[in-house]
C-alpha cells in the first residue's frame, strides 16, 4: 500500500530524453493584468501536519509557524483558453510537443491510440501516448474544444514558467500555496474543514470507486472539471483540492521542512524534482490521499501528465 501512495499520483519522464532548448522562455509581452486574482495580506500560519492522515516520508511535518509576505494569487488554475492565448501570442512549443509523447491515464486512452502506447513500470494505469499534448490531452483524436474552461494539462514545470514570465507572474512557493489553499482556516484537513463531504456534498473532484479501474463519478467528473467547479475556499480560490496537481516554485525535499526556515521559505537551492500540490481527479483515499492541503509530492521539471496544471501568483512588495 505504501508503494501505491508514492507512485499513483503522477508519472515522470525520469531519465528519458532531454530537450536541450527547453529553457527558451519567451519574453514578457503581455501587460501584467491582475484580473481574476485574489490579494492576500500574508502573515503567519501553521504549515504542514503531524496527523495520522499525513505522510511523514513526504516531509509534510512537522507543523511549524511560517510567515508569508503579501501576494496576489489566481483564483483558478490556468485554463486551456488562457494557455491558448499565450501560445497564439508567442508561438511557444511545449516540452510535450517537442518530446512527441506524454502520459495519459489508461481509461482515457482510445482504442485507436492503444497501439501507440507504452506502459509505465509499477504504475500500469499510466500510458505513454504518442502525440498527447495540451491541445490533445488524451492523444490524437482528443480535443480541448469543449474544455476551454478546464485547467490546461500536459504542461511541464518549464512550460508553466514560460507562461508565468509572459503573464508577468510567477509560480507560488509551497508556503504561499498552502497559506492560500487553507483559506484562513487553521490546521484543517481540507480547504473547507475536516469532513470530506459535509452534508453529503462533494467539495472537490477526486476519484470515487475502486482505483484504478472503476470510477463511479459521484462528484460529477471522470477527468478534469471546469476551473470554477465546486465552492471556493475562504479566500475565493477554486479547486485547490483535487482536479489537477499544481506546480510550485520549490525544489522538492522531504527534509527541508525540518530546517525550520520560517520567513518566506523558498525551498532548497537545488534538486531533481519540483513540488506539486493539491492532488487531482485521480486521488483516492486508498492509494493517494493527497488532496489534503498539507499533502505534497513532486515530479521532474520536464514531466507532463493529464492531471498536472498550475496557477500563478504575483508579489506585492
104 and 138 Cβ atoms separated by less than 8 Å:
yes
Positive or negative: CA dihedral 300, 205, 200, 286: negative
Q: How far apart are CA 126 and CA 62, in angstroms?
A: 32
Does 194 map to a domain?
Answer: yes
Average pLDDT of span 82-103? 97
CB 172 within 8 A of CB 178: no
Please report whether residue 62 resides in a domain.
yes
Residue 20 belongs to a domain: no
pTM: 0.94
Residue corresponding to grid cell 495520522? 52
Tell me: pLDDT of 15 over 50. no
Per-residue burial over 5-23, b = 16 or more CB atoms within 10 Å of its CB, e = otherwise:
bebbbbbbbeeeeebeebe
Q: How confident is the model at residue 165 (pLDDT cuts 50, 70, 90)?
A: very high
> Is the model's pLDDT at 317 over the cut of 90?
no
**Alpha carbon distances (Å) from 18 to 13, 31, 176, 225:** 9, 32, 30, 31
pLDDT at 214 over 90: yes
Strand 245-251, strand 214-215: pairing: unpaired
**Residue 21: predicted pLDDT:** 41
pLDDT score for 6: 47
pLDDT of residue 185: 98
pLDDT in tens, 121-164: 888 999 999 999 999 999 999 999 999 999 999 999 999 999 99
pLDDT(26) > 90: no
Residue 27: predicted pLDDT: 53
SS3 71: strand
Which grid cell is 156?
Answer: 511541464
CATH code where residue 171 lies: 3.90.1580.10
Query: So what's the pLDDT on residue 29?
Result: 57
Confidence band for 1, pLDDT divided at 50, 70 and 90: very low
Angle at 72 between CA 68 and CA 74, to 5 degrees: 120
Average pLDDT, rounded, for the chain: 92
Confidence check: pLDDT of 82 > 80: yes
Residue 25 is assigned to a structural domain of this protein: no
- Among the listed ranges 9-23, 97-111, 205-219, 271-285, which one has the minimum average pLDDT value? 9-23
The phi, psi pair for 189, rounded to 5°, reads -70, -40
Within a domain: 190: yes
Domain count, the chain: 1
Residue 303 covered by a domain = yes
Domain that holds residue 52: 2-7+39-88+155-311
d(CA 314, CA 317): 9
Tell me, yes or no, whether 121 lies in a domain: no
Report if residue 29 sits inside a domain: no
Which ranges constitute the DSSP H helices of the chain? 2-7, 80-90, 95-99, 157-167, 174-182
Amino acid at each position: 500500500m505504501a508503494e501505491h501512495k508514492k507512485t499513483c499520483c503522477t508519472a515522470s519522464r525520469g531519465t528519458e530524453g532531454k530537450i536541450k532548448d527547453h529553457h527558451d522562455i519567451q519574453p514578457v509581452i503581455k501587460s501584467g493584468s491582475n484580473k481574476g486574482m485574489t490579494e492576500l495580506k500574508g502573515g503567519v500560519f501553521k504549515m504542514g501536519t503531524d496527523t495520522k492522515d499525513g505522510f511523514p516520508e513526504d516531509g509534510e511535518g512537522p507543523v511549524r509557524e511560517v510567515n508569508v509576505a503579501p501576494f496576489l494569487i489566481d483564483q483558478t488554475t490556468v485554463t486551456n483558453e488562457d494557455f491558448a492565448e499565450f501560445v497564439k501570442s508567442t508561438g511557444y512549443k511545449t516540452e510535450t510537443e517537442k518530446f512527441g509523447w506524454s502520459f495519459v491515464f489508461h481509461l482515457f486512452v482510445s482504442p485507436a491510440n492503444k497501439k501507440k502506447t507504452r506502459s509505465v513500470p509499477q504504475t500500469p494505469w499510466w500510458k505513454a501516448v504518442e502525440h498527447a499534448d495540451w491541445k490533445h490531452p488524451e492523444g490524437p483524436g482528443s480535443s480541448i474544444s469543449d474544455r476551454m474552461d478546464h485547467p490546461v494539462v500536459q504542461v511541464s514545470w518549464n512550460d508553466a514558467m514560460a507562461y508565468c514570465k509572459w503573464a508577468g507572474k510567477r509560480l507560488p512557493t509551497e508556503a504561499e500555496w498552502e497559506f492560500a489553499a487553507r483559506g484562513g482556516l487553521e490546521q484543517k484537513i481540507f480547504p473547507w474543514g475536516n469532513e470530506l463531504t459535509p452534508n453529503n456534498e462533494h467539495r472537490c473532484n477526486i476519484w470515487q470507486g475502486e482505483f484504478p479501474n472503476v470510477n463511479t463519478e459521484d462528484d460529477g467528473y471522470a477527468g478534469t472539471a471546469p476551473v470554477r467547479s465546486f465552492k471556493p475556499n475562504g479566500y475565493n480560490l477554486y479547486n485547490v483540492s483535487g482536479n489537477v496537481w499544481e506546480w510550485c516554485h520549490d525544489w522538492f525535499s522531504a527534509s527541508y521542512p525540518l530546517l525550520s526556515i520560517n520567513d518566506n521559505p523558498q525551498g532548497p537551492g537545488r534538486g531533481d524534482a519540483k513540488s506539486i500540490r493539491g492532488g487531482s481527479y485521480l486521488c483516492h483515499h486508498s492509494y493517494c490521499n493527497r488532496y489534503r492541503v498539507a499533502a505534497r509530492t513532486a515530479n521532474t521539471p520536464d514531466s507532463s501528465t493529464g492531471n498536472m496544471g498550475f496557477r500563478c501568483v504575483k508579489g506585492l512588495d
